[in-house]
Chain A
Amino acid sequence: MTPTDSNILRFEDVSLHFDTTVALDHVSFEMHPGQTFVVFGSAGSGKTMLLKVAVGLVRPDSGRVSLFGQEITQLREQDLFDLRARVGILFQEGGLFDSLTVAENVAYPLVNQHALRHAVAAGSAGNGAAARSVEDRVRESLRFVELDQTLDKFPDELSGGMRRRVGIARAVVSEPALVLYDSPTAGLDPITANTIVALILKERDLRNTATLMVTHRYQDGHLMANFRYNPNSGQIERAGGGGDVSQVSTKFLVMNGGRLVFEGSEPELQASQDSYVRKFLRVGGA
């Protein structure tokens, strides 16, 4: 890989097996800064494993994975921690620490992550405008997901949608360059689901974060590709005409049995004749 290569996440022929089941089957793709990726797939198609492999939580059997231009496949766990601090992850069920309060959960990466802890300490030591305490950043992040009234509550006191929002607040509190969302709308009612996607759009468009979202709801992908957050009105709006940036930079992937069976834009997805791919178009009914 050349140093000028600006990809943020790259899979090269990645395969992963568990006993006899295939989790990932020769998966290759490349993601650049500011891009949005939407990954569709039915249950057990390897979507979640894709995310876990992307940040080195699971090591592939073969192939190479690069994160921020650094190959992570051979990296020691110890060296991965600082790299992971630059990625935000929302787990399927939120992945919150149930014995910590909402505020402690959101503060967790800032308080416990080696590199971030140093960054925060250096900031509060007096770097002028940039100096923000952990508490400020936690409050800011929770205000972002409109949950700044629940600081002292525990995760089990919150509804499913609220837990998901706390998970987003924790994923973005460190201002990562890449955020991975694992089925952020699974098990939520349509209205709550749209609120969650709106938050994801807001994070993406306000900070120009590269976003990879795994989902089985076509509606989520459609929103990601065609809508954007307007900072002036504070609303989600349909993105502009044909040459619109967000339309171009949103890419759809479809996974089946660990294999990548489709890669392309939304119009290409809609034009696909593959019966498995078309299944996702029908579910959303967009």
Chain B
Amino acid sequence: MLDLLKPPIEAFQEFVLLSIRAVRNIFRGPHYADDIFIQMDVIGVGSLFIVSLIGLFSGIVMALQMARALTTYGAQGQVGSIVAITLVRELGPVLTAVLVAGRNASGIASELGSMKVTEQIDAMRALGTDPIQKLVTPRLIAIAVVLPLLTIISDFIGLAGGYFIASTMLGLTFSEYWTTAWQALEYNDIAQGLLKPFVFAIIIALVGCFYGMRTTGGTQGVGRSTTSAVVSSSVWIFVLTAFITYIWNRVFVKQ
């Protein structure tokens, strides 16, 4: 029984140690600013189109679904507020994060994994540079900055998609839709909608790097690491969003 538990506990310990070192490196040199900007470009600018597209269609789908339900109660005027609340609180952060996890946790895991199996990580250490400082910390900072920004863009484009449906199918005017959408949102929702992507960003970066750095077993091992990185970062995103929402409601929302 104890032998069965040993590998996951060891892996978790490794993950925690990597996380501590990655975060600690933010506060001490040497800093590799170039690497941070390159990663921001790869992850942020690179994901912009696909994140916008998914945002647009999730807004459209939300509006279509809600329009039907709300029409039953004669409340189709409220479609803006429902789309706004679901997108900003939940769908925007989660869908964007899952997308970035699929795109970049895999990219990070395979890049670092290939470096690991070809001894480039060892070469880095031998040349007197810290692979965590050079590879992990820049990716962590880059995703933590970029993912909340991508989420804001995705939320906004989603709302625009909702407006497209509201105006064409429900006949709502511009101000009818956007006023209800705007009024439905509280600072509370926006704060929650920005905290989530920040937490997800940390998970995506660290999980991607963790699986990459512990890759063994050649090309096949790189494949395995990539798959594990996407699967576990996606799962963690859903687990954490439930967790954050629960705590948030208990602490900040007066019933």
Contact = CB atoms under 8 A, between A and B. Distances in A.
A97 B120 CA distance: 6
Interface string B106-133: 0000000001001110110111111000
Contacts, number: 65
A153 B189 CA distance: 52
Interface string B128-161: 1110001000000000000000000000000000
A116 interface: yes
Nearest to A180: B126
A127 interface: no
A81 B123 contact: no
A91 B134 contact: no
By secondary structure, the B interface counts as loop
A113 interface: yes
Contacts of B30: 112, 114, 117
B74 interface: no
Interface in A43-93: 52, 55, 57, 77-78, 81-85, 87, 89, 91-93
Given A112-B32, A112-B134, A114-B29, A95 B128 contact: no
Contacts of A55: 126
Contact of A81 (B32, B118, B128): B128
Most chain A Cβ neighbours within 10 Å, of B30, B119, B122, B126: B126
A98 to B, nearest CB: 7
Nearest to A87: B126
A115 B127 CA distance: 11
Contact of A91 (B29, B32, B119, B130): B119
A276 interface: no
B119 A113 contact: no
Contacts of B130: 77-78, 81
A114 B123 contact: no
Contacts of B29: 114
A33 B138 CA distance: 38
A58 B134 CA distance: 20
A84 B123 contact: no
A109 interface: yes
Given A112-B134, A114-B29, A82 B128 contact: yes
A84 B120 contact: no
A57 B120 CA distance: 13
Contacts of A262: none
B74 to A, nearest CB: 60
Contacts of B126: 55, 57, 84, 87, 89, 91, 95
Contact of B127 (A77, A78, A113): A113
B57 to A, nearest CB: 34
B129 A97 contact: no
Nearest to A86: B128
B66 to A, nearest CB: 47
Contacts of A98: 118, 120
Contacts of B127: 84-85, 89, 108-109, 112-113, 170
A84 B134 contact: no
B128 A93 contact: no
Interface of A: 52, 55, 57, 77-78, 81-85, 87, 89, 91-93, 95-98, 108-109, 112-117, 170
13 contacts: A84-B126, A84-B127, A84-B128, A85-B127, A91-B123, A93-B119, A95-B119, A97-B120, A97-B123, A98-B120, A109-B129, A113-B129, A117-B30
Interface of B: 29-30, 32, 115, 118-120, 122-123, 125-130, 134
Interface pairs A-B: 10 shortest CB-CB: A85-B128, A95-B123, A84-B128, A113-B128, A81-B128, A89-B126, A112-B129, A109-B127, A114-B30, A95-B119
Given A57-B126, A87-B126, A92-B119, 7 more contacts: A81-B125, A81-B129, A84-B127, A89-B123, A97-B115, A109-B129, A116-B128
